[in-house]
């Protein structure tokens, strides 16, 4: 009978050793909690009772999320766009054979021509080539900044949410201070004194001002997860804090961090373009969509194509990551099922 399964799980725990009992208790509690199908009747998509899949494997949040994502057209469309961006970031020469720094003033502001479908900018540079190579900078900055923010913020927020006390209070006050700093104004002040023309100062600035958001989300998620029964059972069985955090809390608290990080990736790409447009991010001869937008702004009447293509590429990229984040959020939020 389904009603007897928790009791049977308890008997199995009682008959095992300390380490095996802890793993079995956590596994049983996590499986029963994550089963959207409920304790009675088959779940959605033909899954069996008690959260068991068609092949007899226990259902999990991640398997359900991946199943929903594969059927979500928004996710598929955004994933295709992002895969294309990653490809041209790794191999821009596969699409654009020219040199983004090769310019001919005799062709300045000219329209499209054979082999140059986007025309030329105010300096006679090929807009198509510069747009393709600009994706590398934007994707690199967005991915590395997101990784740094996610790791740094998750560790600080997770520790504060788990241990609480003075550590939690101090971190909360520090995050409040960072939240009060305007991002663009902070970039103008901090990056204006940097002389290096690489992506690392921009990435470091984004990590410095971006971690409080992820930290606060991770803190709240860990506080919620540590109150679950399987965490209490693991603690009662003598599990260490490190084991509880890594084996039981982290897998069940990471979903909100993934969602926010995915959406924030597009925000960081837009922020890099904004800082480069204002002249404090990347600077020529670096190739960036923000630099091209800034250079094409004075020629918007005579050569609107030079502004249209990098702006359109930036908008599509940011939109793709926001759509991906929305799709991941819908798949990982059990309340929306």
Structural domain total, the chain = 2
Contact 196, 255 (CB under 8 A): no
pTM for the model: 0.77
Q: Which residues are CB-contacts of 249 (< 8 A; sequence separation ≥ 6)?
A: 158, 162, 222, 225, 226, 231
Contact 109, 126 (CB under 8 A): no
Tens digit of pLDDT at every position of the chain (337 positions): 444 444 333 434 334 443 444 443 444 444 434 444 444 444 444 444 445 555 556 667 678 888 888 889 999 999 999 999 999 999 998 998 888 998 888 888 888 888 889 999 988 999 999 999 999 999 999 999 999 999 999 999 999 999 888 988 998 899 989 988 888 899 999 998 888 888 999 999 999 999 999 999 999 999 988 888 888 888 888 888 888 888 889 888 888 899 899 989 999 999 999 999 998 999 888 899 999 999 999 888 888 999 999 999 999 999 999 999 888 888 887 665 5
Stretch (H or E) spanning 100: none
Say yes or no: 47 and 145 in one domain. no
- What backbone phi and psi angles, to 5 degrees, belong to 16? -115, 175
Residue 64 located in a structural domain: no
Reading the block at residue 144, the tokens are: 């590395």
Q: Look up the CATH number of the domain holding residue 218.
A: 1.10.3720.10
Nearest-angstrom CA–CA distance, 303 and 313: 17
Say yes or no: 32 and 79 in one domain. no
pLDDT value, residue 32: 39
Residue 65 located in a structural domain: no
Say yes or no: 151 and 37 in one domain. no
Residue 250 located in a structural domain: yes
Nearest-angstrom CA–CA distance, 70 and 131: 30
Say yes or no: 97 and 149 in one domain. yes
Q: Which domain holds residue 34?
A: 2-59
Reading the block at residue 334, the tokens are: 């059990």
Residue 243 located in a structural domain: yes
């Amino acid at each position: 009978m389904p009603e007897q399964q928790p009791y049977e799980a308890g008997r199995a725990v009682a008959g095992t050793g300390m380490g095996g009992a802890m793993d079995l208790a956590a596994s049983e509690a996590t499986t029963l909690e994550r089963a959207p199908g409920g304790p009675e009747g088959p779940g959605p998509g033909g899954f069996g009772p008690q959260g068991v899949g068609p092949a007899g494997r226990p259902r999990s949040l991640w398997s359900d999320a991946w199943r929903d994502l594969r059927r979500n057209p928004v996710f598929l469309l955004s994933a295709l766009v992002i895969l294309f961006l990653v490809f041209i970031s790794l191999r821009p020469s596969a699409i654009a054979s020219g040199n983004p720094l090769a310019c001919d003033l005799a062709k300045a502001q000219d329209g499209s021509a054979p082999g140059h479908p986007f025309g030329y900018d105010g300096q006679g540079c090929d807009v198509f080539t510069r747009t393709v190579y600009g994706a590398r900078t934007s994707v690199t900055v967005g991915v590395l900044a997101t990784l740094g923010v996610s790791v740094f913020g998750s560790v600080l927020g997770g520790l504060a949410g788990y241990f609480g006390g003075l550590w939690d209070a101090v971190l909360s006050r520090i995050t409040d201070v960072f939240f009060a700093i305007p991002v663009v104004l902070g970039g103008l002040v901090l990056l204006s004194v940097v002389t290096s023309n690489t992506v690392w100062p921009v990435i470091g600035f984004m990590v410095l001002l971006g971690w409080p958001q992820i930290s606060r989300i991770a803190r709240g998620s860990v506080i919620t997860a540590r109150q679950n029964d399987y965490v209490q059972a693991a603690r009662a069985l003598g599990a260490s804090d490190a084991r509880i955090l890594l084996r039981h809390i982290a897998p069940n608290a990471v979903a909100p961090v993934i969602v926010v990080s995915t959406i924030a990736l597009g925000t960081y790409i837009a922020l890099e373009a904004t800082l480069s447009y204002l002249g404090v991010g990347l600077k020529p001869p670096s190739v960036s969509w923000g630099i091209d937008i800034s250079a094409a702004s004075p020629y918007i009447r005579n050569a609107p194509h030079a502004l249209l293509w990098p702006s359109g590429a930036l908008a599509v990229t940011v939109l793709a990551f926001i759509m991906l984040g929305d799709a991941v959020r819908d798949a990982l939020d059990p309340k929306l099922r």
